[in-house]
Structure formats: structure tokens, C-alpha cells
Structure 1
């Protein structure tokens, strides 16, 4: 099993590094860890209780550290024996990147294998449990070092999403906290097929949502981060994912704790677009083609119409259907190395009406024709120039060179500096600003602006007037006036 992931930690790199080498913090962070004893600076012994499906076992093992480059990276190798249950072995590479003085990006890659009875459970169940344990570890670890940039979403009502996307599913144990929803041909290890299967969890705040492929929802600081999690396919969108997102956005819209939504992709890419490899199954008839386009439009409409601001955070490829996802967001923050394009003309596909309309609104008629007719990729600098994206990180920032007199009198000569190329950092700063403002004002302004931009008939004038009147009578309106008079920051509640 191979797994990659990352976590943003609100702590300096040195603090995170020290925590990664602290036995007490590691013991509290590792799910099911009963003992962790440090033998030397590079070796530990551990006792961990783990449950995979019906098999629960206590693993006794050794952990060793190698290739140590403090405070940037190390490799961890762990081996454990679980008696009759079997054995487990994992090699984990951990790398730390300092995004700023109090924000660290932790990247990890895992190569693992199991044997004995565990190996008989099926790779999907084993992989799901491993990913769940990784998520739990980073939630616990993040709390210990000062907090993740996001914690697992808690308390969201996904019942509507489940019903709309998949139809009724059998009742499942209420104790379960991680929701896994399989597609029609899914095999989850127990022959359940196109239903749902839940994994037990000791933490009721942990919620992962799977629909054929994994989509994660994390929340902190009133910001929800929705992550497309298929990094090995460059986050290509399966039909199940297109169908899942409207319900997810609906749940986030109903959650008063969420004020801004960020859409991003796991790994190095935002999204390479629709998963072409499944077209033979899901677009082979006229009806399937129609249903597929309906699902894509419904997904992107849900992003565009949620009454909360949305930000696409883009790295790597943003192509085809991925571009439609990004264009559906209110704002687009991209790394300077991002690549954009709509290759419909190379697949004999006509880009959808709504996607074409969004492209036209962003870049204008001539440039939209150039993008659609040419099907050529273009970089982030050109995307910024065209208006396709709003913000680009990682640009070269040049300061004015000192004059001759300044140089003679010892003023330090300025040098070009490369800015951080992680758009998530900048986007989260903007998202926090939006989250601090009055939710009713933002949702009302979004409805008016989108309606006016779409042209005649799109805006319901009566509803617009109702929104304006409601905001003027709200508790937040009185709070805003009071805060202004008292010369303090307002504390808006969204009512």
C-alpha cells in the first residue's frame, strides 16, 4: 500500500520537529498506542492496538529513524508483530517546509505491507483503515503542537447528500463516525456492493466522505476546506464525485459554523478534469452522456450558488472539468507553476453551456474562443493576465535597485526574492478576512452580483429586496453599528 498526504500545522518548523521526536506527543498522537519507549535518539519500542474490519490485535514492534536532516526531514521504519493476526511493516518519509514563522507544511509518504490474516481482508478495507489512522494521527498531533490548519468536520448533516446521490441505503450503526459510500461497482471487502459501509471510530469528530473516490471536508476558523483526494490520477473527477459535491455543499451551506469554502486538490494538482478512463462505462449511450452532463452542471451550479464565498486553491493541472470547478468558485488563487486548459476540441467534445458561459464572463469573447478552439494549455501568468485567475503566488518580487549614493554609503543592495508558491497560505488569509465580515451582507451581495452577471431574468428582484431588508433588520446590523461606535471589531453571528 502506498499513501501520500500533507498537513498544515500552525507552529514553527522547529516546534513541529521537536514534537516529531517527543515520545509523549507521539504516543498521544498514534491511534491505539499503549506504550512508546525511547531506546535511543533513533530507536523506539511500541505497543499499538489496531482494529481492521473484524480483526483486532495488539502489535509489538520496533521503530527506527534514519536519513535524519534536522529540522527538515527523516525516514521512519516500523515493524510490528500481531500474533495470529499477522504482521505489519511501514516506511514513512516525513518532510517539513516552513511556510512562514508560525506555519509549517508537513508532507509524508507511506509504503506499507501486511501479512497473515490481515492480508486476507482485501486492499480496499486495509487502505481505508490506514488512511483513517493517518487522519486521526495528524488531528491529534496538530492539537499537540498548536493546531492543524483544519480539523475534521464535525456535526455536518450528510443525510440529504447520501439520499440524493445514491438513493436509500440500509440503516447502519449509529456509533460509526466515518462514512464511506461506495459506487455501484464498489467492493468494500464484505460484499456489500452499492450501499454504504461505516468504520467505527473512537472520535465522534472524525468524518471522511467517500463516493467511489475520497473527498475530504475539514473545518477551522469558520473555513471549510473541501479536498479532491485522488492524487495518483491528478484528482480526475469520477461520476460519483460529480454527484457527491452538491450534497456536500448543501451540508456546508446549512452549517452556521462555515462562512467560507475552499476547494482544492490533494497532492500536486487541482484537477485534471473528468476521469476519461471511465467514459466507456458512464458515457456509452445518449442517455448516459446526458445524465453525465447534468451531473457536471449540478455540481458546478452547487459551487457557484452556495450562499457563502468560495475560493479555488490551484496547484499543478487545472484542466477541462477541473477548470469548470475552478471557474464556478468566486475566487481563484493559483501557484505560479499551475497549468490551465480546456482540451475539449482534442476529444471531439463540446464544452458545456454553463462552463462556456463562465469562461466567457471571465476572459471575454475572443480569449474564450482562443482557449476553446486551440485547446492549448497556458500557465498561471497568462491566466492572471486573462482574468482566469485572481491571484498568483510564487511570483518574483523585485525591489528598486539602490542609487549610486545609497550604494556608496553602505545601503544593502536589494535582491529579487521569490515569494512562497503555496496558494493555500494566501487563500486562507483572504478566507479569514471574508469569514470575519457579516455573513448576510456577503450572501446577499453574492446573489445580486451573480444574478446581474448572468443577464436578464436571472435575478429575482423581489427576493433581492427581501435579502436587503432582512440584513437591515438583523442582529448583525445592530452589532456592526455598535462596534463602529465603540471602535472595536464586530462579532457577527449571521443572523
Structure 2
């Protein structure tokens, strides 16, 4: 944990013991904390994730969320031992799949910018977590793979769509057909990663960037997330934009931004949602 970080109140739900939330400046840091298993996600951890995210989502002092893994790995995926543990013999993955999809949705709809800070293994469910974040910063030790073809699983539509939006149809098919791994350089080239940063600079760069985000308009950032989501879904973008234009004026963000530009000073944005 960085020297400036402080631990937030624990979340009282099963599985949350392996999901640690701390504050580092203006950012909340969610650490997947199961290093002995390369931070593989159990069903309890998937189920706990939406509740863990609820606190920083509602905290106006939190301006961004950083998701990372304890130790040398980000997340090696879902814990294979729990894949077939469901109660329905016709679909023993049903409960796990529901918890997994709910966790991804909670990350995708988190109301503030989210950054996956990736070292080492980012495999399977790890890629789902990273793809559900807004941005992905990684170091050269990072290794990415989407491996349902190795165990005979059909990848969910929402997970496939998230991957497709990042890397396009050809790379999506390459990863899903083969289960082959991409190193950090290949991940950057294909669009799976947004920034590739030297290992000893990764944490500092993520901290610097979250500071940049905190200095910008939270209203613009929230609106951007909603507009991008609407455009990606292919419906409703005009109505979303119209609503946010009205909010921009009524909240005073635009007048403050214009005044700050004219006065050559940093803007003092006050909108918190």
C-alpha cells in the first residue's frame, strides 16, 4: 500500500476479505488480495464486488478508482475449482456466471473514471475486470489471455462485447479461438492496454494521472461515461447529451470553466453529482 494511502472501512460481506479498498489522495484503490492464487476470483469475491464498490462510488471525495492486484499479478481469472459448484446440474455455472456478470456491470457503471493498474498475469476473469474499467495502464511484465477455449466455456455476450470494443473483431476472435497469451507490447499494439509504463514508474504514473483527473470537471467525466455507454449501445445518446448540457449550465461548471480560462487560473469545479 502506498505511503499516502489509508484503509477505508471494511465491507461486511462474504468474499470482501480478499477485496481491499484504500484511499490514495483523490483516488480509491481496489486491490484484489489473494496473491497465493495469483488473485484468482472466487464466486464469493465476484458476489462481493458490487457491494465493495458502493462505498467509493457514493463518496464525493473519491474522484477516480484504481483497480490492481496484490503481489506480482493482477488477476489470473476465475478460480477453476469453483466453476462447476452450482446447485443446478443442468447449468452448474449459473450462479457463478450471474455473480461474475453483476461484478463486471458494477465496474462498468461505476460513476467515476476507473483505471486498471496491471502487473503480471491478467487472464480470463482478470481481462474481464480490466476491460470493464475505463482505462488500462500496465507494465512490461503484464501478460494477457482470454482462455474459455481451454476449458470449453462459451464467453458471455457482455464480456465478448467489451473485448470487441477494445481490440476489434479479429483480435477478439484470435484470443477467444486460441487462448494464446499477449505480452504487454502486443496488448498495447492491439488496444487492450492504453499505456505501457516501466515497472518502477507504473504506480507513480497512475497516481499522477488520477491527480490530473481530480483537477478536471467531474461533471464532464460522468457525462462522458454515460454518452460513451449510450453510443456503444447504439441508442439514446442524444437524450443523454441534452440532459447533461442542461446540467452543465445549471451546475455552474461551464461559467466557471470559461472564467478560469479568461483569468488564466485553474478552474474551481464544484460539481459532485
TM-score by length of 1: 0.52
1:430 is aligned to 2:209: yes
- Distance in 2 (CA, whole Å) between partners of 1:440 and 1:429 is 20
Go from structure 1 to structure 2 and tell me whether the alpha carbon gap of 1:268 and 1:472 turns closer, same or farther (over 3 Å shift).
same
Counterpart of 1:322 in structure 2 is: 126
Give per-residue Cα distances to partners, 1:9-63, cap 9 Å, x unaligned: 3xxxxxxxxxxxxxxxxxxxxxxxxxxxxxxxxxxxxxxxxxxxxxxxxxxxxxx
Counterpart of 1:235 in structure 2 is: 39
Higher helix share: 2
Aligned positions, number: 272
1:490 is aligned to 2:243: no
1:285 is aligned to 2:89: yes
- Distance in 2 (CA, whole Å) between partners of 1:244 and 1:288 is 20
Q: Which has the higher contact order (CA 8 A, sep 6+)?
A: 2
Match of 1:359 among 148, 163, 175: 163
Go from structure 1 to structure 2 and tell me whether the alpha carbon gap of 1:426 and 1:435 turns closer, same or farther (over 3 Å shift).
same
Give per-residue Cα distances to partners, 1:126-181, cap 9 Å, x unaligned: xxxxxxxxxxxxxxxxxxxxxx2x21226xxxxxxxxxxxxxxxxxxxxxxx5553
- Distance in 2 (CA, whole Å) between partners of 1:438 and 1:454 is 24
Counterpart of 2:241 in structure 1 is: 464
Match of 1:248 among 52, 62, 70: 52
Tell whether the 8 Å contact from 1:308 to 1:443 is kept in structure 2 after alignment: yes
TM-score by length of 2: 0.93
C-alpha displacement at 1:280, in angstroms? 4.0
Counterpart of 2:7 in structure 1 is: 152
Give per-residue Cα distances to partners, 1:172-228, cap 9 Å, x unaligned: xxxxxx55534xxxxxxxxxxxxxxxxxxxxxxxxxxxx264211111322110111
Structure 2 residues not aligned, in runs of 5+? none
Give per-residue Cα distances to partners, 1:345-392, cap 9 Å, x unaligned: 010111111111111111111111111101111100010111110011
Counterpart of 1:41 in structure 2 is: none
Matches within 5 A, 1:84-163: 148=4, 150-153=5-8
Match of 1:181 among 2, 10, 13: 13
- Computing the radius of gyration from Cα coordinates, the structure with the larger value is 1
Matches within 5 A, 1:314-353: 314-353=118-157
Counterpart of 1:157 in structure 2 is: none
C-alpha displacement at 1:8, in angstroms? 2.4
- Distance in 1 (CA, whole Å) between partners of 2:158 and 2:11 is 32
C-alpha displacement at 1:460, in angstroms? 5.3
C-alpha displacement at 1:287, in angstroms? 5.0
Go from structure 1 to structure 2 and tell me whether the alpha carbon gap of 1:221 and 1:476 turns closer, same or farther (over 3 Å shift).
farther
Tell whether the 8 Å contact from 1:256 to 1:494 is kept in structure 2 after alignment: no
Match of 1:270 among 44, 57, 74: 74
Go from structure 1 to structure 2 and tell me whether the alpha carbon gap of 1:442 and 1:218 turns closer, same or farther (over 3 Å shift).
same
C-alpha displacement at 1:273, in angstroms? 0.4
- Distance in 1 (CA, whole Å) between partners of 2:90 and 2:214 is 43
4+ residue runs of structure 1 moved beyond 4 angstroms? none
- Distance in 1 (CA, whole Å) between partners of 2:45 and 2:218 is 28
Structure 1 residues not aligned, in runs of 5+? 1-6, 10-147, 155-177, 183-210, 395-419
Match of 1:303 among 61, 86, 107: 107
Tell whether the 8 Å contact from 1:384 to 1:392 is kept in structure 2 after alignment: yes
- Distance in 2 (CA, whole Å) between partners of 1:277 and 1:267 is 21
Give per-residue Cα distances to partners, 1:279-332, cap 9 Å, x unaligned: 343476345422221211111111111121100000000000110000011100
Go from structure 1 to structure 2 and tell me whether the alpha carbon gap of 1:349 and 1:283 turns closer, same or farther (over 3 Å shift).
farther
Counterpart of 1:441 in structure 2 is: 220
Tell whether the 8 Å contact from 1:318 to 1:338 is kept in structure 2 after alignment: yes
Higher strand share: 1
SS, match of residue 65 in structure 2: strand
